[in-house]
Structure 1
């Protein structure tokens, strides 16, 4: 796996850096460790792009628009691997996860991050957390492995500021395990167009097989 990065790649958000771990320059944020990731003597912890779709998008140089300090709604937070890194550099971070077992881990992650707010809710039912999540968040990050991923992104558009960003990782096999991933991705992009303007897409196969990274802004 190459560690080469184009000189004209978008700048990383403030609070995200490339640090040396085991002789390799890797994405990192500063915060308490969460999933056994290496931490250097200055408190920077490696961000494993092989375990994080957003990390993969940043490693591949996608223009996420993240600058640091954003308010974030994160859908599909699981036990906190990626959202912990997000909370290290973002502002208020609302983390939605529907499975009780991972949420217990997520609550533990949030104990060391006072800007991280775990929500045991279903991302397919945004009305169930509309009373908690502030409107006009800067960024909607989505990694939800379910059929109808585009529908989830569209229904959660209500929380996103008009100048905000959608950062979405589409898992083809969650939509249709038998379909060609390119056809799945085309259908998802078409469904998103009712609410979003697509800015950039890139396959994440270098880190995550049959996944598509999407950057979009609300219409």
Structure 2
């Protein structure tokens, strides 16, 4: 199993060993004092960590993160527990209300009601040279979103992408969808690792890449 980011530990909750971060609970997850369990069944990034993928997420106040598809804050709240400035982009107004609540106790979490397919709309807010770009958007053109947001990523940064095959094309085999996504990403990224997340999320692929 790979090393975990600083601030993420394996701790026991109700007899089971789980990943955990320190912070206020967000989605009804088990807690133990200041620690909150990180549920990989509700988090693609959590699944990538649980499966031992080398994400390059290090943790620490100096690590800047851009998170695309933040929804109500389930995963990005864990990221903000361990990282520095964390920009959370979400398109739908309803989950952003929950995301704002998660940010109340996290001064390093910055919710943005924006469309990840239009990075020019938040380019004036998000600093350049972010260390980690996390993407979990349920839309067609997931590779294109990663390519369009490449502008924010530091040259030595990491893309952590969760590809949802059924959002691309519900009629095609997931393996074929994943192959197309990898091919398109290769225009601007070097793919370091990819792994199916089916243990936790059906028809999803986790990808770790770095800019070319």
- Normalising by structure 1, what TM-score? 0.95
Write out per-residue CA displacement over residues 104-129 of structure 1, whole angstroms, 9 at most, x where no aligned residue. Answer: 11011101000000000000000000
For residue 174 of structure 2, the aligned residue among 181, 206, 218 is 181
Q: How does 1:1-219 map to 2 (within 5 A)?
A: 9-41=1-33, 43-69=34-60, 70-219=63-212
Paired positions, count: 210
Write out per-residue CA displacement over residues 135-161 of structure 1, whole angstroms, 9 at most, x where no aligned residue. Answer: 000000000000000000000000000
Query: Which ranges of structure 1 fall in alignment gaps of 5 or more residues?
Result: 1-8
- Normalising by structure 2, what TM-score? 0.98
Cα distance in 2 for partners of 1:187, 1:163 equals: 24
Cα distance in 2 for partners of 1:80, 1:33 equals: 11
Cα distance in 2 for partners of 1:17, 1:99 equals: 31
Q: CA deviation at 1:166?
A: 0.1
Cα distance in 2 for partners of 1:96, 1:147 equals: 17
Cα distance in 1 for partners of 2:8, 2:167 equals: 30
Cα distance in 2 for partners of 1:171, 1:139 equals: 20
Query: Which ranges of structure 2 fall in alignment gaps of 5 or more residues?
Result: none
Cα distance in 1 for partners of 2:118, 2:210 equals: 21
Task: Give the match's secondary structure for 2:56.
Answer: coil
RMSD: 0.5
Write out per-residue CA displacement over residues 159-185 of structure 1, whole angstroms, 9 at most, x where no aligned residue. Answer: 000000000000000000010000000
- Give every structure 1 segment of 4 or more consecutive aligned residues whose post-TM-superposition deviation is greater than 2 Å: none
Write out per-residue CA displacement over residues 23-75 of structure 1, whole angstroms, 9 at most, x where no aligned residue. Answer: 1100000000000001102x110000000000000000000011112100000
Cα distance in 2 for partners of 1:102, 1:60 equals: 27
